[in-house]
Amino acid sequence: MIRDRALRVCSLLVLVAGSAAIVGAAGAEWTGPPAHHGTYSVASPSTSTAENRPAVFAARSAPHAPRVEARTAHKPVRLWLPRVLPARYLPAGSRLPNPEAPPGNPFAVRQPTQLGRMVIPAIALDQPIFEGVDQAAFAHGVGHWPGSAGPGGWGNAVFGGHRVTQTHPFLNTDKLRAGNEIDLAMRNGWTYVYRVTRVFVVPQSAMWIADQKAGRTITLFTCHPKGSATERLVTTGVLVRIAAAT
């Protein structure tokens, strides 16, 4: 009986010593406890493969990570847009705009909405753009014909302005030549750059200048000659590029 007890004590000592060795070996590889308790899924030695080993290594080399993710989280997709885009890359529109009729009372009092600015370096023009082709808009700068194509839009973007009164933005549009640029810097952060194609004179009654056609064009109109409204001085252009604000 004493012999049996001695054998059991020896067996227990061997078991304790073996367990201590295993814990010590594990402690030598695991340099610290995880910051958060969790369950780690590690393959058993008998099923360990090259596919499994990276996950085990990651868990051991980053002991303070909250947990080992089974999957890599999807990162948000970031769209990249060029800062300058030639107009030829813009898609064609599906339909043309429909300009509104000229205002019945061009002197009606109202508060116009500013859309952006028009800059023409060749004639040192830098004026705000407002919605409307009436005195409420023309008193402050350039007016956009409602219903015509918007800046950079499909169709014909039409703008009017005084030549010799108030801010007289189109005082020197007769000096423009083919190839000069017209920049429309809008509040949406884009600048639409047009290239002048033609400068000509039409009768005051020539309302066809606001007609819409396929393409991305611009039309400026003002009184002609200076100090008279018997005719209209018209400047046309075509969109060549759009550029993001710097």
Q: Would you list the domain boundaries of the chain? A: 84-244
Query: In the CATH hierarchy, which fold is given to the domain comprising 84-244?
Result: Sortase; Chain: A; (2.40.260)
- Residue 167, CB half-sphere, CA atoms under 13 Å: how many? 19
- Cβ atoms of 238 and 193 within 8 Å: the answer is no
pLDDT score of 246: 67
pLDDT score of 82: 78
Question: What tokens does 212 get?
Answer: 């819409």
Mean pLDDT in each 10-residue stretch from start to end of the chain (246 residues)?
50 44 36 35 38 38 43 58 90 96 94 97 98 96 98 98 96 98 96 98 96 98 93 98 88
Q: E strand or H helix at 26, and its extent?
A: helix 2-29
- For residues 91 and 239, give the distance between their C-alpha atoms in angstroms, rounded to a whole number: 13
- Cβ atoms of 118 and 159 within 8 Å: the answer is yes
pLDDT score of 75: 63
- For residues 16 and 89, give the distance between their C-alpha atoms in angstroms, rounded to a whole number: 77
Question: What tokens does 13 get?
Answer: 């000592």
- Cβ atoms of 32 and 64 within 8 Å: the answer is yes
- For residues 212 and 215, give the distance between their C-alpha atoms in angstroms, rounded to a whole number: 9
pLDDT score of 86: 96
Determine whether 120 is exposed, middle or buried from the number of CB atoms within 10 Å of its CB (0-12, 13-18, 19+): buried
